[in-house]
Amino acid sequence: MYPETNVAAPLNPARMHTRSRMKMTLFKNKWFILVIVFLILWFYWFEVRPISLSRMCATQSSADARALLKSKADVSKGTPIGKEYQSLIDKNLYLRADYESFLGKCLLHYNISKPVLPANAPAEAK
């Protein structure tokens, strides 16, 4: 607004030209922009999302495996296996089979395939 009157300032013609030019550019390149948006969404869905969900599942599976080991130790108190479970708990460890079971269930819940190791993989990788 002009300070002396209550009349609104006229629109800047150069700015109007910029807006119309931007609209025309978007209109002419709408398929290119649509393809770029599609590629970004595809990359997120098939690359970023599975990695973040796998990390979350690994963290949750670790916590669940530790909790299960504690309950197993409570149930088997006074037995030799109970002492082994207690030593694992003292070292803040868990049973790998329990961890893999929880991890597989979590990944299945989010429809992510668990990586499969080849049959001739080294023993350290299994």
Structural domain spans, the chain: 15-109
Q: What is the mean pLDDT of residues 14-29?
A: 76
Task: Identify which of 37, 93, 90 has the alpha carbon closest to the alpha carbon of residue 62.
Answer: 93
The contacts of residue 116 (CB under 8 Å, 6+ apart) are: none
Check residue 18 and give its pLDDT: 76
Tell me the pTM: 0.66
pLDDT digit string, tens, across residues 64-108: 999 999 999 999 999 999 999 999 999 999 999 999 999 999 999
Say which residue the tokens 């495996």 belong to. 65
Spell 39-49 as b/e; 16+ CB within 10 A means b.
Answer: eeeeeeeeeee
Check residue 35 and give its pLDDT: 93
**Residue 2 scores a pLDDT above 60:** no
Check residue 113 and give its pLDDT: 83
Check residue 109 and give its pLDDT: 95
Report d(CA 15, CA 19) in Å as an integer. 6
Q: What is the mean pLDDT of residues 45-71?
A: 95
Check residue 126 and give its pLDDT: 47
